[in-house]
Amino acid sequence: MSMIDALKQRVTAVAESEKIADLQYETTNPEQYLTTDHGVKVAETDNWLKVQDGTHTGPSLLEDQIGREKITRFDHERIPERVVHARGAGAFGYFKVFDDSAKKYTLAPVLTDSSRTTPTFVRFSTVQGSRGSADTVRDVRGFAVKFYTQEGNWDIVGNDIPVFFIQDAIKFPDIVHAVKPEPHNEVPQGQSAHNNFWDFVGLQPESAYKVLWAMSDRGIPRSYRMMQGFGVNTYTLSNAQGERFFVKFHWIPELGVHSLVWDEALKIGGQDPDFHRKDLQEAIDNGAYPKWTFAIQVIPEANEHDFEFDILDATKVWPEELIPLQSIGEMILNRTIDEYFPQVEQVAFCTANVISGIGFSDDPLLQGRNFSYFDTQISRLGVNWQELPINRPVCPVMNYQRDGQMRHRIHQGTVNYWPNRKGHFKPVPHTDGGFFDHPQKIEGIKQRARGKKFQEHYNQAQLFYNSLSEYERAHLVSAFSFELSHCDDPIVYESYTKLLNNIDFDLAKQVAINVGGVVPEGPARENHGKRSPSLSQLYYAPKEPTIKSRRIAILVADGFDLSQVEALRAVIKAGSATSWIIGPRRGWVYPEGAVAGSGKGGVWADHHYEGQRSTLFDAFIVPGGAKSAQALAENGRTIHWIREAFGHCKVIGAIGEGVAFLREAVMLPGIEYQTNSNSSQVVSSFGVVTIGKLTLANIAVDTLKISQDD
Ligand code: HDE
């Protein structure tokens, strides 16, 4: 894209969102001369000012203000990384509600006015690893959304898992210290597989339910775009009639919830540590805009105590069977970031950022969070962090908070207090838009304690375990076994295998056998046998199978069938997926009949067989062409490509001689052929789940149907 086109694109984007307009981009004029920070044009930036007579190099001079400025600025480029969620990726988008159905719960226009388009910025993250860690590690993912509403910023600082490890904010430093690299040697990075984490969670059974989620396939998402998001904490909504409701927030991805398999996640961690970051960018660049439905669960204030669990306990979900989800809006991400640091690194979320009509509950985790986020931004960004372009609201901001490090705003006038003799900038009653503090009667005894219902930790963990499919459970056993095998202190793995027996006897037994833990003789607690289908991620498969945004590799060698490749690419494009030619070299690959090296009539291979691995694609097709199939059959790497893809339960299709390559060279066990089918069944890590109908119009296609269940 030319610079002019890029600038035009920016101008269009600016017109699309008040927030983008507000960011005040630097005008990137390529004709602009290089200058110092104080604006002086620079004549030379490659040599430090030094004593130099052409033959001898003398000392460099401290007086070189240009050299010193450059180095000093560089020395101070880093700010403290986030104490948790340090590794992240972000994108811009917008939020809209479908109608005014939420008016009965809230007076916040962002949730009730369907004529509004509210700009958003979303940051996805991992929790444990530092800024440079890999994307595909087993971890919880952050899902933080900033809504730039006309009434001020509203942040939902959520996760991809609906429950949390602890019930009370005072335990947060403990859980974070326990999961982070150990203090004596700063090991491990991007992993919870170590003594300290499992020691802590073994002694803190309120974490059991969250640990199950993290060890399930949810801990290794295929893409940020294919995750659910949850506000986790219990918030409140207040309506114009003065009624109050408890609420939980949900994001449901249009593409369904999908995960990697563990072997893939491990390999991608080395092969492409930025996999999720690039995936987000690639999808938006290709116009496959990530989309989520926004839903709420609502409980009227009067019904707070109607449930067997405490609705203010963040280690519990509100089962959908009891409190149904109400879909009220959607969010679409349609713009990638321009510069990482000022946008993704400097974006700063705060659970206390709510707007009128939305409030807090007495959820003890949320109460602590409301203090912590502002506080941490002070150490990361300074007290004026809300003035930074990515953080500042799109509506007017005026108050008498003043000064502090890095103050940017300049106010004119003589008063900086309220009340003042001029009557400037006065508070407004909530009926005119002032923040509404819902009056709440509070009674109780001041004490360090938790409510009765906060003491029960295993019912919902069992419900989750019971609701998983067989292969999801098998993955759970493997994940626990992997993690506990990395703990070398017997106290740790013995105690955790004992804890698992409170959830399920089979689970505890299998894990204990694998890791040398305490093999139970019988259940520590009866399994209540209840299920809730929406706890399995299979529940969130897209209604219509789709290949949208999926990466499909076409594996070729010289001598392939050009017409088949062209037709395949057209079909893949029409399905809003991306096709990637993988060939013997990056560069031209020639079809049957073309003169090799002529530069004409070939297709451009995006990658060499060694350049990208099968793990980075969702599906594979081997087209026909006798010579191509023969060359693929003689190459160990291409055979490995397909076998590995098969092991990861991916779709594998072939046409013509490509089928012979698969049958005779790759020799996969247990596969049936579906000849001349025009649909491709897709099998993923969690069973026979379709990612798409690959309709290969008018081509005789042999599609492999893989009949494995795990
Ligand atoms: Fe956070 N959390 N958190 N957290 N959290 C932070 O704030 C904290 C919790 C979450 O992309 C920090 O700006 C406490 C639950 C996300 O910038 C810090 C407690 C949930 C992000 C902090 C929790 C989250 C953070 C570190 C328990 C899911 C990344 C840097 C009382 C609902 C936001 C920062 C981003 C970040 C504190 C628990 C989600 C230290 C004290 C529960 C997505 O303020």
Which of the listed residues 79, 81, 82, 163 should we mutate to test ligand 1's pocket, taking the one with most ligand atoms within 8 A of CB? 82
What span, in angstroms and rounded, lies between the C-alpha atoms of 201 and 175?
A: 8
Q: What are phi and psi of 563, to 5 degrees?
A: -65, -35
Q: Establish whether residue 85 lines the binding site of ligand 1, counting it when its CB lies within 6 angstroms of any ligand atom.
A: yes
Predicted confidence band at 545 (pLDDT cuts at 50, 70, 90)?
A: confident
pLDDT(66) > 60: yes
DSSP-derived 3-state class of residue 553: strand
- HSE-CB at 56 with a 13 A cutoff on CA atoms is 3
Q: Establish whether residue 374 lines the binding site of ligand 1, counting it when its CB lies within 6 angstroms of any ligand atom.
A: no
Output the pLDDT for position 666.
77
What span, in angstroms and rounded, lies between the C-alpha atoms of 66 and 54?
A: 22
Atom of ligand 1 nearest to the CA of 230: 32
pLDDT(450) > 90: yes
pLDDT(703) > 80: no
Q: Establish whether residue 83 lines the binding site of ligand 1, counting it when its CB lies within 6 angstroms of any ligand atom.
A: yes
pLDDT, average across residues 372-400: 97
What span, in angstroms and rounded, lies between the C-alpha atoms of 489 and 197?
A: 12
Q: Report which of residues 651 and 423 the model is more confident about.
A: 423
What span, in angstroms and rounded, lies between the C-alpha atoms of 468 and 213?
A: 11
Contact 122, 145 (CB under 8 A): yes
From residue 392, alpha-carbon distances to 20, 216, 418, 420, 641 in Å are: 12, 37, 23, 26, 48
- HSE-CB at 339 with a 13 A cutoff on CA atoms is 9
Q: What are phi and psi of 431, to 5 degrees?
A: -65, -20
Average pLDDT over the chain reads 90
pLDDT(682) > 60: no
pLDDT digits (tens, 9 = 90+) for 329-351: 999 999 999 999 999 999 999 99
pLDDT, average across residues 7-35: 72
Comparing 54-63, 288-297, 688-697, which segment has the lowest mean pLDDT? 688-697
Helix then strand count (H, E) for the chain reads 18, 21
Q: Establish whether residue 581 lines the binding site of ligand 1, counting it when its CB lies within 6 angstroms of any ligand atom.
A: no
Predicted confidence band at 599 (pLDDT cuts at 50, 70, 90)?
A: low
What span, in angstroms and rounded, lies between the C-alpha atoms of 143 and 133?
A: 18
Q: Ligand 1 centre from 157 Cα, in Å?
A: 7
Q: Establish whether residue 84 lines the binding site of ligand 1, counting it when its CB lies within 6 angstroms of any ligand atom.
A: yes
Q: Establish whether residue 163 lines the binding site of ligand 1, counting it when its CB lies within 6 angstroms of any ligand atom.
A: no
- Closest residue (by CA) to atom 31 of ligand 1? 169
- Closest residue (by CA) to atom 32 of ligand 1? 158
Q: Ligand 1 centre from 99 Cα, in Å?
A: 31
Output the pLDDT for position 659.
81
Choose the most confident range, by mean pLDDT, from 107-116, 404-413, 561-570.
107-116
Q: Ligand 1 centre from 487 Cα, in Å?
A: 27
Closest CA to 676 of 706, 702, 704: 702
Residue 326, C-beta contacts closer than 8 angstroms, at least 6 positions apart: 101, 102, 295, 296, 297, 298
- Calculated CA dihedral for residues 395, 399, 405, 409, nearest 10 degrees: 50
Could you tell me where the DSSP H helices lie in 398-550? 459-467, 470-485, 490-500, 505-515
Output the pLDDT for position 492.
98
What 402-410 contacts at long range (C-beta under 8 Å, 24+ apart), as own/partner pairs, is 406/382, 408/384
From residue 232, alpha-carbon distances to 40, 184, 303 in Å are: 51, 33, 19
Atom of ligand 1 nearest to the CA of 159: 28
Atom of ligand 1 nearest to the CA of 90: 11
Token pair, residue 448, equals 């360090």
Q: Establish whether residue 146 lines the binding site of ligand 1, counting it when its CB lies within 6 angstroms of any ligand atom.
A: no
Which of the listed residues 83, 361, 369 should we mutate to test ligand 1's pocket, taking the one with most ligand atoms within 8 A of CB? 369
Burial 358-388 (b: 16+ CB within 10 A, else e): bbbbebbbbbbbbebbbebbeebbebbbbbb
- Closest residue (by CA) to atom 27 of ligand 1? 169
DSSP 194-225: SHHHHHHHHH-GGGHHHHHHHHSGGGSBS-GG
pLDDT digits (tens, 9 = 90+) for 217-251: 999 999 999 999 999 999 999 999 999 999 999 99
Contact 575, 694 (CB under 8 A): yes
ipTM over 0.95: yes
The separation between the first and the last C-alpha atoms of the chain, rounded to the nearest angstrom, is 44
Output the pLDDT for position 688.
28
pLDDT, average across residues 42-61: 94
What span, in angstroms and rounded, lies between the C-alpha atoms of 536 and 514?
A: 25
Q: Report which of residues 683 and 107 the model is more confident about.
A: 107
- HSE-CB at 548 with a 13 A cutoff on CA atoms is 16
- Closest residue (by CA) to atom 8 of ligand 1? 369
Closest CA to 231 of 291, 314, 340: 314
What DSSP character marks residue 32? P
DSSP-derived 3-state class of residue 275: helix
Q: Establish whether residue 372 lines the binding site of ligand 1, counting it when its CB lies within 6 angstroms of any ligand atom.
A: yes
Overall pTM surpassing 0.90 (yes/no)? yes
Q: Is 255 exposed, middle or buried (0-12, 13-18, 19+ CB in 10 A)?
A: buried
DSSP-derived 3-state class of residue 73: helix
What span, in angstroms and rounded, lies between the C-alpha atoms of 98 and 650?
A: 36
What span, in angstroms and rounded, lies between the C-alpha atoms of 652 and 580?
A: 14
Tokens 């003890």, residue located: 364
Q: Establish whether residue 508 lines the binding site of ligand 1, counting it when its CB lies within 6 angstroms of any ligand atom.
A: no
What domains appear along the chain, each with residue ranges and CATH number?
1-32 (no CATH), 37-77 (no CATH), 88-387 (2.40.180.10), 456-539 (1.20.1370.20), 545-706 (3.40.50.880)
Which of the listed residues 79, 81, 85 should we mutate to test ligand 1's pocket, taking the one with most ligand atoms within 8 A of CB? 85
Q: Establish whether residue 159 lines the binding site of ligand 1, counting it when its CB lies within 6 angstroms of any ligand atom.
A: yes
List active site positions.
Answer: 85, 159
- Closest residue (by CA) to atom 6 of ligand 1? 84
Predicted confidence band at 694 (pLDDT cuts at 50, 70, 90)?
A: very low
